[in-house]
A and B are shown apart, each in its own frame.
Chain A
Amino acid sequence: MLFDSEIFQITALSLQVSALATLLSLVIGLPFGTWLALGRFRGRDVILSIVNTGMALPPVVVGLVVAMSLWRSGPLGDWKLIYTPWAIVIAQVVIASPVVTGLTAAALAALDPRLSQQLLGLGASRPQMIWRLWREARLPLLAALMAGFGSVISEVGASMMVGGNIRGQTRVLTTAIVLETSKGEFESALALSALLLVITYLINLALTWIQQRGRRKVE
C-alpha cells in the first residue's frame, strides 16, 4: 500500500513535470504554429501534415527514442538525464509540442484571412498584428493548451521508459497506477486513477473558466 506522504509526492511530481512540459510546448508550439498558419511558402503542406501526424505520436515510441538518446551509450548520454524528472519533461515536450503546434495553426487558420491584412493596413507592425490575432483566437488557443496538458498528464509509456518509475524520484501518477495494477493492488490503482481524473478535471475546469470568461468579454 502507498503512504499518504508518498501519494502527495507522486502527485506533486506529476503536476510539476506535466506543467513544465506543457509550458515548454507552448513556447515551442505557439510561434511555430503561428508561422505555419500565416506563412506562405513551399513545403508548408508537407510540414503541416508532419505536425498533424505528430499529434498522434504514440508515447511509447517517443519514450523509446528519447530513452535510447539519453542512455549512457546514446548520443546525449553525457547529459546524465536518464531516469530523472528532466528526462520525463523532455519526452513530454516531444509529445505535446506537435499537439500545441497543430492546434495553434488550426486556430489561426480559422480566423478571417482579411483580419491580418486589415490590421497591417491600419499600420500595425507584424508583431502587433500577431499579438492581435492571438488575442482574437485565444479561445481555441486555450483549447490547444488544454489538449497539450491532457496529452502529457495522462501518458504512461514514455514516463515509464525514460523516468524508470523509480520510487521517490521519478514515479508519477500514471506509472504508479501501472505498478499498483501489476502488484494486484487494484484498490490502490483505482484510487490513484480517481485522483488523476479529479486533478485533470480541476485543471481543465480552471482553464475552461478562463476561456468562457474570455468569451463573455468578446460578446
Chain B
Amino acid sequence: MKRIFPILLILFLLATACSPTPAAPANPNLILATTTSTQDSGLLDVLIPLFEAESGYTVQTVAVGSGQAMKMGEEGNADVLLVHAPKSEVEFMANGFGKDRALVMHNDFIIVGPAADPAGIKGKPVVDALKAISAGSAEFVSRGDDSGTHKAELNLWKKAEYDPKSAAPAWYLESGQGMGATLTIASEKGAYTMTDRATYLANKDNLQLEIFVEGDNALLNVYHVITVSPEKWDTANYDGALAFLNFMIAPATQEVIGKFGVDNYGQPLFYPDADKTDAELGL
C-alpha cells in the first residue's frame, strides 16, 4: 500500500513530461495566497511543482491566515487564493473581488486536550463538548487570529450558544498565532484546543494532547480556490489563476490530494471534493 503513492506520482510526472511542453505563458509569475495549513502539511510542496511543470507558471506561495489571504485578494496583491473560510468567501465573491470559485477538498477539525480530559468531553458531539468546556474546568486555547480555523471555532461556539468573545472567561485564551504554536501552548498549559487534523498529526510527537472529539459533520474544513477578479485589478494574472484553478480540480490532481499523507500518517490528510457540491458538504 505504502508504495502506491510514489508510483502514482511518478506516473503523473511521466504523463506530464510526455505531454508537449506548454508554450510559456505571457506572464509566468503567479502569486498564490493560501493558508498556513496547506503549506505546513506539505501538500503544496507536492502540488506546486506538478502545476509548475505542467503549466510553465512560477508560483510564489504566500502562506498566511485565511483572513489575510482574502485581504490580499481584495487589494490585488494576489492572483489566486486557496482558502477555507466559506462564509467570508461568499462575501468576497458577492463584493466582486473574486471571479471564479471552485470546491477543491476538505479536511476536518478535531478537538484535542490533555489525557486526563478534565471536562469529560470524550466522544461527545462537538456542541455538547464545547458546552462542557464552557463550564470552565480547563482552559481552552483559541487561535484568535481571524484565520479560517478561528472562524470555524467561533461558529461552533455559536452553535453551542456560548459567546467566549463577549463573556471573556478566564479559561478562554487567545494565542493570536498559527496552529502549530497554538497546539504547543495548549499542550504546555494542559488546555483544550480545536485544530485541523493535518497540523495535529504533523506535530503529534511533540504534543501531550489527545483527540477527544472527531467525525462530527459540523467539523468539516472545506477549501475553495478563488481567482482574483481581473475586472477589479487589471494587474492580476487571471490566466495563471484560472490555470491553477483548473489544475486543482483536475482528476489527476484530485487523486494526488486524496493520497497525500497516507505514507506518513496511515490516513489521508485531505479529501478531494471537486466532484461534489457545497450542499453535499453541508455548507
Contacts and interface: CB of A to CB of B under 8 A. Distances in A.
Given A82-B188, A83-B188, A184-B146, A166 B70 contact: no
Nearest to A82: B188
A71 interface: yes
Nearest to A77: B188
Given A83-B188, A164-B181, A184 B176 contact: no
Interface stretch (B23-31, B60-68, B226-234): B60-68
B144 A167 contact: yes
B67 A183 contact: yes
B70 A165 contact: no
A75 to B, nearest CB: 15
A175 interface: yes
B173 A167 contact: yes
A184 B185 contact: no
Q: From B70, B144, B147, B177, name the one whose CB has the most chain A CB atoms within 10 angstroms.
A: B177
A169 B185 CA distance: 13
A171 to B, nearest CB: 7
A179 interface: yes
A135 interface: no
B185 A164 contact: yes
Interface in B11-60: none
B239 interface: no
A182 B69 CA distance: 9
B177 A164 contact: yes
A125 interface: no
Given A72-B188, A171-B176, A184 B72 contact: yes
Given A72-B188, A83-B188, A164-B185, A184 B173 contact: no
Contacts of A186: 71
Given A82-B188, A83-B185, A166 B65 contact: no
B121 to A, nearest CB: 22
B145 interface: yes
Contacts of B122: none
A53 interface: no
B51 to A, nearest CB: 25
B128 interface: no
B275 interface: no
Nearest to B172: A167
A165 B72 contact: no
Contacts of B70: 184
Nearest to B170: A168
Interface residues of A, number: 23
B68 A184 contact: yes
B181 A179 contact: no
B99 interface: no
B174 interface: yes
A206 B188 CA distance: 40
A160 interface: yes
B174 A167 contact: yes
A118 interface: no
A80 B95 CA distance: 48
Nearest to A181: B68
A171 B173 CA distance: 11
B199 interface: no
A178 B64 CA distance: 11
Nearest to A167: B174
B253 interface: no
Interface string B168-198: 1000011111000100010011000000000
Interface string B66-89: 011111100000000000000000
A125 B177 CA distance: 54
What 8 A-B pairs have minimum CB-CB distances, sorted nearest first? A184-B71, A167-B174, A183-B146, A179-B176, A184-B68, A165-B176, A184-B67, A183-B67
Interface of B: 64-65, 67-72, 144-147, 168, 173-177, 181, 185, 188-189
19 contacts: A82-B188, A83-B185, A164-B175, A165-B175, A166-B174, A166-B176, A167-B174, A168-B168, A169-B173, A179-B144, A179-B177, A182-B64, A182-B65, A182-B146, A182-B176, A183-B65, A183-B146, A184-B67, A186-B71
